[in-house]
């Protein structure tokens, strides 16, 4: 769960970026926007190759009267049936062709648009025979996968299924996994241990950790099918990136210039990235930075994403730090920050000139060592026109507090998006979805002037692997402003994270009313709620839920309310808008419909024109916020029970 600490000046108005003074910012030309295809070819750099252990031990009884290879065949069939149509998928086997030999690995089905029947035929022909050359098979599997085109971010997955350790050790599998993970931000290795223990399990866990992936334990045939389906779907439903490629520098010198829009970069552990912007003296500049680790990648409780706005020689206007706040595994994490000029216009950050957005990833020893994709957004907002008096600020939750009623109608089915860029549009009402362990689902709800968002999230009562388990995971939620600033935690009103052990549990969340003058407040959960638009809801289930629930996915219900009458503008005395969104209960708009066959993530980059407003993602939700803020000067500024498997 993400925690936030903010330091710095957050005061008044809107910030615009202008770079027509001093030296003009240098930036690469913007590519034309690319449509998202329903099924991308393998060359787009996204896909998965399953690496199946077909060594002699897979011919042994699995304890259910069947062989391990027979159970593996069924599990592979289950996962390919669940994958989106067209998702690039292949199959590599080892130990299937020779009684003995450490070079016994081959590609049984090339990575191409999903051929369910072809993969099932390929695995049906496998007869366990030989050795276990895992290291060599991983190296070959990486070459089987498509490579992303220049300037794009794909998602390449190696999914290893094994019942034992590598008995060849040339090359060492953990070392190979680390080398492959370090070769780019888009490759990770998940490992499923089928009836393994001791050294074999330790090696597979090492491969997954070194390969920037997850380890799934499968003690029997049913759990093998369940864990394989989870790993496959997480690969296919990866975060959809948007933005133009940019390369931040480790210092201010030669930092690339960015204009309002959306950008893509990458950042390694304990690295800094600088981006230059030129701002005028009266407009608000709003930035967001989102890192997108592989789901479940190793993190520490205090691993964090830090952002700040720097100016002058060594001065800082504002800084914010978002923490993962848990050790179960990585999820997307977003930090939002703004330069808001003061009412007096006399502070250092009120001047026009050159500023820098600084992004820093903080990682503890033992955390994931790979570079993570980094998505940036930059928005600018002009001040109100002269003579317009804004409505007073709304720093209290009031009628939108935790006791506010939410809808109790029958739920409608919905499928959440993979991130900010394809968040599923919702209207007020009750919605039902399913979430995987280590997955974050994304939704967006329009909220107007004078309105506030209030919602509940319920995680289903699911059948568990064991009758009772001491294992506990978590469910969490976070809400973001249109500029992607997290505002749902640390206030004492709402708690964004709750323990989950397979039994029904719920969270409450909301925002204060939208008011232009909120930018003058000091509370970091009030200041960003100063503009109408789409507010984003993120719902996350912890990675350890994979050890708890029998079903691959866990049910989740959202009860969404938009409270208050929408005003026609931010000014004092604004009339009530004719269309009152708080009374709506229609389905998701066409904009949120899935793309083509299943709507899987292509991982491709969609370029955003300079000046376009791109909104960004977040990930970590907040367990508690650690915040420190420089003192500002005066004047500155009811639950339906849900049972798994019944849907």
**Would you state the pLDDT for residue 366?**
87
Question: 380 vs 154, which has greater pLDDT?
Answer: 380
Q: How is residue 575 annotated by DSSP?
A: P
3-state SS assignment for residue 464: strand
Q: Is the pLDDT of residue 622 over 80?
A: no
**Would you state the pLDDT for residue 467?**
65
Instruction: Give the whole-number percent of the chain exceeding pLDDT 90.
Output: 70
* pLDDT-based confidence at residue 24 (cuts at 50, 70, 90): very low
Q: How is residue 268 annotated by DSSP?
A: -
Q: Is the pLDDT of residue 292 over 90?
A: yes
Instruction: Report d(CA 105, CA 101) in Å as an integer.
Output: 9
Q: Is the pLDDT of residue 490 over 90?
A: no
Q: Is the pLDDT of residue 545 over 80?
A: yes
Query: What are the angstrom distances between the C-alpha of 329 and each of 230, 325, 370, 393, 502?
Result: 15, 10, 14, 38, 18
Closest CA to 427 of 409, 440, 403: 409
- The helix-helix angle for 68-82 and 221-236 (nearest 10°) equals 30
Q: Is the pLDDT of residue 488 over 60?
A: yes
Instruction: Report d(CA 383, CA 71) in Å as an integer.
Output: 64
Lowest-confidence pick of 67-71, 149-153, 637-641 = 637-641
- Work out the average pLDDT over 365-394: 94
130-149 tens-digit pLDDT = 999 999 999 999 999 988 77
**Would you state the pLDDT for residue 607?**
33
**Would you state the pLDDT for residue 489?**
72
* pLDDT-based confidence at residue 477 (cuts at 50, 70, 90): very high
228-244 tens-digit pLDDT = 999 999 989 889 999 99
181-208 tens-digit pLDDT = 888 778 899 999 999 999 999 999 999 9
Contact 473, 549 (CB under 8 A): no
* pLDDT-based confidence at residue 594 (cuts at 50, 70, 90): very low
Q: Which domains does the chain have, with CATH numbers?
A: 47-237 (3.40.50.410), 241-383 (2.60.120.380), 388-573 (2.60.120.680)
Instruction: Report d(CA 248, CA 264) in Å as an integer.
Output: 10
pTM of this structure = 0.82
Q: Is the pLDDT of residue 86 over 80?
A: yes
- Work out the average pLDDT over 23-27: 36
Query: What are the angstrom distances between the C-alpha of 339 and each of 278, 374, 522?
Result: 12, 21, 14
Residue 106 sits at φ, ψ, to 5 deg, of -150, 155
Lowest-confidence pick of 65-69, 436-440, 486-490 = 486-490
């Amino acid at each position: 769960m993400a925690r936030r600490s903010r330091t710095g000046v957050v005061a008044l108005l809107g910030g615009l970026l202008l770079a027509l003074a001093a030296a003009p910012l240098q930036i690469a030309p913007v590519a034309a926007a690319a449509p998202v295809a329903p099924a991308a070819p393998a060359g787009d750099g996204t896909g998965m190759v399953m690496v199946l252990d077909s060594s002699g031990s897979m011919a042994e009884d699995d304890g259910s009267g069947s062989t391990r290879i027979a159970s593996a065949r069924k599990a592979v069939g289950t996962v390919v049936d669940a994958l989106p149509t067209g998702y690039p998928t292949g199959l590599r086997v080892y130990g299937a062709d020779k009684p003995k030999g450490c070079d016994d690995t081959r590609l049984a089905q090339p990575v191409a648009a999903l051929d369910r029947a072809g993969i099932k035929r390929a695995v049906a022909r496998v007869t366990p025979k030989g050795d276990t050359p895992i290291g060599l098979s991983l190296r070959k599997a990486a070459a089987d996968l498509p490579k992303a085109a220049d300037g794009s971010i794909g998602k390449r997955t190696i999914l290893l299924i094994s019942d034992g350790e590598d008995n060849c050790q040339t090359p060492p599998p953990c070392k190979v996994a680390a080398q492959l993970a370090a070769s780019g931000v888009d490759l990770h290795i998940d490992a499923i241990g089928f009836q393994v223990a001791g050294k074999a399990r330790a090696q597979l866990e090492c491969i997954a950790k070194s390969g920037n992936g997850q380890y799934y334990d499968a003690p029997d045939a049913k759990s093998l099918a369940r864990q394989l389906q989870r790993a496959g779907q997480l690969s296919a439903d990866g975060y959809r990136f948007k933005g133009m490629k940019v390369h931040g520098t480790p210092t201010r010198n030669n930092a690339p210039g960015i204009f309002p829009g959306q950008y893509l970069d990458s950042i390694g552990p304990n690295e800094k990235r600088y981006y230059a912007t030129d701002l005028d003296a009266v407009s608000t500049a709003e930035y967001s930075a989102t890192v997108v680790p592989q789901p479940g990648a190793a993190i520490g409780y205090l691993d964090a994403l830090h952002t700040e706005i720097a100016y002058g020689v060594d001065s800082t206007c504002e800084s914010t730090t978002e923490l993962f706040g848990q050790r179960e595994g990585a999820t997307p994490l977003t930090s939002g920050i703004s330069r808001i000029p003061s009412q007096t216009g006399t502070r250092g950050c009120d001047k026009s000139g050159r500023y820098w957005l600084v992004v820093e990833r903080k990682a503890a020893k033992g955390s994931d060592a790979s570079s993570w994709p980094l998505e940036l957004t930059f928005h600018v907002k002009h001040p109100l026109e002269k003579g317009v008096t804004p409505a007073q600020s709304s720093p209290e939750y009031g009628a939108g507090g935790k006791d506010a009623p939410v809808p109790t109608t029958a739920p409608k089915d919905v499928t959440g998006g993979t991130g900010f860029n394809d968040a599923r549009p919702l209207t007020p009402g009750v919605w039902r979805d399913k979430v995987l362990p280590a997955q974050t689902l994304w939704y967006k709800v329009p909220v107007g002037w004078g309105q506030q968002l209030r919602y509940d999230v319920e995680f289903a009562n699911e059948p568990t692997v064991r009758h009772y388990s001491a294992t506990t995971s978590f469910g969490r939620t976070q809400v973001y402003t249109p500029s992607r600033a997290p505002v749902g935690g640390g206030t004492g009103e709402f708690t964004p994270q709750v323990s989950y052990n397979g039994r029904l549990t719920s969270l409450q969340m909301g925002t204060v009313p939208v008011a232009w003058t909120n930018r003058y407040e000091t509370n970091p959960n009030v200041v960003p709620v100063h503009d109408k638009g789409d507010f984003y809801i993120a719902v996350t289930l912890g990675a350890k839920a994979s050890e708890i629930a029998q079903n691959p996915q866990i049910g989740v219900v959202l009860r969404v309310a938009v409270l208050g009458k929408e005003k026609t503008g931010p000014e004092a005395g604004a009339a009530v808008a004719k269309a009152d969104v708080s009374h709506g209960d229609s389905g998701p708009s066409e904009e949120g419909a899935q793309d083509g066959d299943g709507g899987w993530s292509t991982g491709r980059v969609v370029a955003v024109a300079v000046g376009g407003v791109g909104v960004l993602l977040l990930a970590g939700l907040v367990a508690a916020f650690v915040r420190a803020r420089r003192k500002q000067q005066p004047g500155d500024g009811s639950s339906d029970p849900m049972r798994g498997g019944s849907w």
